[in-house]
Amino acid sequence: MPSRLKVELPVCPEPKCRHIGKQPNGEALKNFCIGSILEGTGHKKRRMVPVVFTAPVPKEGGGS
Ligand SMILES: [Zn+2]
């Protein structure tokens, strides 16, 4: 029985940001997001919420 790979990632709740994953800033902003000033998505510090993503089952015998 194929089991789908589930992975939990923190997601920024800010609508204009929606950053997924860990912050590049590292430990200082662990579990928080302030957006990206460079990309124009800077915002107030928001606590990221964990969201479970389900990865599609990779096809067997792949290969290019
Ligand atoms: Zn954000």
Distance 52 CA to ligand 1 centre (A): 17
pLDDT reported for residue 24:
67
User: Can you list the residues of the chain whose pLDDT is less than 70?
Assistant: 1-2, 24-28, 62-64
| Residues 17, 18, 20: CA angle, nearest 5 degrees | 125
Centroid of ligand 1 to alpha carbon of 8 (angstroms): 17
Instruction: Supply the DSSP symbol for 26.
Output: G
Structure tokens at 55: 């990865």
CB of 41 within 8 A of CB of 35? yes
The pTM of this model reads 0.68
- Characterize 17-50 residue by residue with b for buried, 16 or more Cβ atoms within 10 angstroms of its Cβ, and e for exposed: bebeeebeeeeeeeeebbbeeeeebebeebebee
CA 27 / ligand 1 centre spacing (Å) = 16
Please give the distance, rounded to the nearest whole angstrom, from the Cα atom of residue 2 to the centre of ligand 1.
Answer: 34
How much distance in Å is there from the Cα of 61 to the middle of ligand 1?
38
